[in-house]
Structure 1
């Protein structure tokens, strides 16, 4: 190679080296910044709210016995009508009351007759009340004892006879609770950032938890506790 061609090649090589060095420094700075951006903190935010049930389902059950099948049917019809009439007097409508067919049991048909069983036939009667008048249902339950004078013993102690209370208006409280859970999570993240001599950055990732609805306690099943836990990840800055 001649001296005339060597000089431009040398200059070009030098410029390329300088460019590569500058490029390396730039990429290095970006990598350092990206690594700094990877500093994060993941926190959970809790929101709870007590609400009253807006729907109640009450299976009203009682039993009739007799040795005469015809008499049993008549007694079932009479007492069922009295229970339905009682519910209407309390303020419930026909649309809220459902009467199921009675379940008749012939104890002699089972092949073995217990000598201690006094009545051959028994009938299990079930009347279901589905209503949004929760407070009315609560007051009605305390008045059911008045049916005893007509010989109707309502069973409400076993599991299948207990009233169920539901809260079906979750969408009405969702936005408020999600906002509250997010604010709670941010407070926790800010406390962490302060304790670690950092500044809280933007949200990197957020995950909304599942809503849960449970009884507040066993004595007041018509009061529900709605709960949600949200998980958020924030960037931490120096």
Structure 2
């Protein structure tokens, strides 16, 4: 696994690349210390951590248009959709990586918004979702989103891409072994400090795995 990267996930246009911190806690009976009664034991935990690079990125691009005439607002959204698709194609994404989300429509003069005054009547928003294993390309794309703004596309609620690590099973065995060794080291030290002999394992559990953004963002 490479530690080259950047982070899971990036929530700013500046884009932080996909790197996660995996923590595996193993709950093991490696630290069983027999006391005088023979049945007494203590339980120790082992911890393993590993930096991994994400292998999947999901980039939602949401844009909006508003106005008084619904058909005109719809036409602008359709035009912006063409611009967004062309932008993503120029960024190197195949059509299969780009999905079209639902179209949102709000009428500010409907009963739900009756208390609101002023502003345009119709507000439409459309979402396009990029899903790809090319996480490096996604970071480049987030830096280039200003190109859409320059072409008149109004981006809405942009929170950046999500970076995901899907190959946990590839690193699981080695991390469990590392956590087990750490637990045994703790058990040995405990037995040494207490003056009790270290007995065999009485029970063991894999514990849990947690994938976190390395620098705590998102």
Q: Fold match, TM over 0.5?
A: yes
Q: CA deviation at 1:86?
A: 0.6
Could you tell me which runs of 5 or more consecutive residues in structure 1 were left unpaired when the two chains were aligned: 1-34, 222-238
The structure with the larger Rg is: 1
Alpha carbons 1:106, 1:122 under 8 Å: kept: yes
Which structure carries more helix by proportion?
1
Aligned length: 183
Instruction: Say yes or no: does 1:67 pair with 2:65.
Output: no
TM-score of the superposition, structure 2-length normalised? Answer: 0.75
Which stretch of the first structure deviates more once superposed, 175-184 or 51-60? 51-60
Aligned to 1:170: 168
The corresponding residue for 2:49 is 48
Whole-angstrom CA distance in 1 between matches of 2:204 and 2:121: 65
CA RMSD of aligned residues (A): 2.3
* Counterparts of 1:174 and 1:132, CA distance in 2: 21
Counterpart residue number, 1:148? 149
Mapping 1:152-231, distance limit 5 Å: 152-157=153-158, 161-219=159-217
Secondary structure (helix, strand or coil) at the match of 1:211 reads strand
TM-score by length of structure 1 reads 0.69
What's 1:38 paired with? 39
Say whether the 8 Å CA contact 2:61–2:128 is kept in structure 1.
yes
- Could you tell me how far 1:183 is from its partner in structure 2? 0.2
Q: Unmatched 5+ residue regions in structure 2?
A: 1-35
Does 2:104 align with 1:95?
Answer: no
Shift of 1:115: 4.6
Report what 1:5 is aligned to.
none
Q: 1:114 to 1:44 in 2, by over 3 A?
A: closer
CA shift, 1:112, in A, is: 3.5
**Is 1:77 aligned to residue 75 of structure 2?**
no
1:54–1:132 Cα contact (<8 Å) kept: yes
Q: Is the 8 A contact 1:64 1:75 kept in 2?
A: yes
Q: CA distance change for structure 1 residues 215 and 64 in 2, over 3 Å: closer, same or farther? A: same
- Given that residues 156 and 162 in structure 1 are in contact (C-alpha distance below 8 angstroms), is that contact kept between their aligned partners in structure 2? no
Partner Cα distance (2:116, 2:180) in 1: 65
Greater RCO structure (CA 8 Å; 6+ sep): 2
